[in-house]
Homo-oligomer: A and B are copies of this chain.
């Protein structure tokens, strides 16, 4: 059975300073190739605690991965803990450290060289792993049938080493995981809609809601999972993000590119999040021309040509203002589509008539303008996330509809 246990080492994670991300990322990668992660655990910077937790899993899982605790300071103790677990002394591996040291120059080189009494030490019998992006030597060892990997906690180093020196050497498990992203459904009604999934024997279903997008994860034998995916697709074909799109922003990019269309935004309460979401996707520049964030009424008038009467009569948070903003952005950037968002993200600024969470949207398309008004709940961050996801969903549907389906 291809089972893995993942550990993040660091007092700062137990103190809530920073949030574990390396193990979560690796869990996703392992699960894609049919491995089952049985535990993700944050451990303190203490040799005894690390050893005693690892001992529980050695011999029971095929793979243990540790993230962090390989740095140069007194509280970096992962290598000491693994040496103790293996019953092997730490050895200075200058031979493996030379190519790492060679990448540094100037004052940093001195600091890296001085750190080798910690960072170039690995347990005797362990195999060193080159770190292409940082100064800590990674390593792997085998103990009672379990492969143990110790990787640095800096996310880009962790990922680079996992991708180069860990994942390619794992054989694929029998199971597969397929992920379906459904937009526009509340979790509770979607669960009812897809309850037929429980009839696919041997398929493990997980449901994870996020703002305006529910992720269905199906895990099991390939043929049964394929059947289950087909079943969901036949039930709600209009509400599933296209294959290969891991986010609404990616779906917008895929759809606009397919139709040779361009996009621009006008944002107010979301303050740049829409643009940030779309440009997170490599290649966004092929369809995204730009955006204006108008955080003041003045900039709405002067840059986007929103008529002053609209702001006076309906207010800046209104479908009328959203409409003018979308048309303004479409004209300014000369894009095929423009999406605008204006709302009250809170905590202040709400009124009885327009409470915190009220958000208005408009989509200017080649054929006209659509507007929407919604009320979202939660705190500022939650309201903004929902607004971004809702706006991108409507834009995605508009691009698809406007030119699709034989119109």
Contact = CB atoms under 8 A, between A and B. Distances in A.
Interface of A: 10-21, 24-31, 36-45, 49, 72-75, 107-108, 111-112, 115, 133, 135, 154-156, 159, 177, 179, 186, 188-189, 191-192, 198, 204-210, 215, 217, 219, 265, 267, 269-280, 282-285, 288-296, 298-299, 302-303, 332-334, 345-348, 377-382, 384
Given A16-B24, A380-B282, A209 B156 contact: no
B39 A111 contact: no
Closest 7 CB pairs of A and B: A16-B28, A272-B275, A271-B279, A16-B27, A272-B272, A272-B276, A40-B42
Contacts of A42: 39-41
11 contacts: A15-B206, A16-B30, A16-B37, A17-B179, A19-B21, A156-B378, A272-B276, A273-B279, A289-B295, A293-B293, A302-B332
**Interface SS of A by simple majority:** mixed
Copies, count: 2
Given A16-B30, A38-B44, 8 more contacts: A12-B206, A15-B28, A15-B219, A39-B43, A39-B44, A270-B279, A272-B272, A272-B293
B282 A154 contact: no
Most chain B beta-carbon neighbours within 10 Å: one of A31, A269, A347:
A31
B24 A217 contact: no
B346 A282 contact: yes
A72 B191 contact: yes
Contact of A11 (B188, B204, B274, B276): B204
B299 A295 contact: no
Contacts of A382: 155-156
A72 to B, nearest CB: 7
A216 B159 CA distance: 24
Contacts of A265: 272, 293
Contact of A295 (B18, B156, B285, B296): B285
Contact of A189 (B12, B111, B177, B348): B111
A30 B345 CA distance: 27
Contacts of A283: 348
A232 to B, nearest CB: 16
B154 A209 contact: yes
A209 B346 CA distance: 30
A327 B177 CA distance: 51
A260 to B, nearest CB: 15
Given A156-B379, A282-B380, A296-B285, A39 B17 contact: no
A40 B17 contact: no
B17 A208 contact: yes
A231 B112 CA distance: 26
A334 B298 CA distance: 10
Contact of A205 (B31, B39, B44, B75): B75
Nearest to A219: B15
B294 A272 contact: no
Most chain B beta-carbon neighbours within 10 Å: one of A28, A275, A348:
A275
Nearest to A36: B14
Contacts of A210: 18
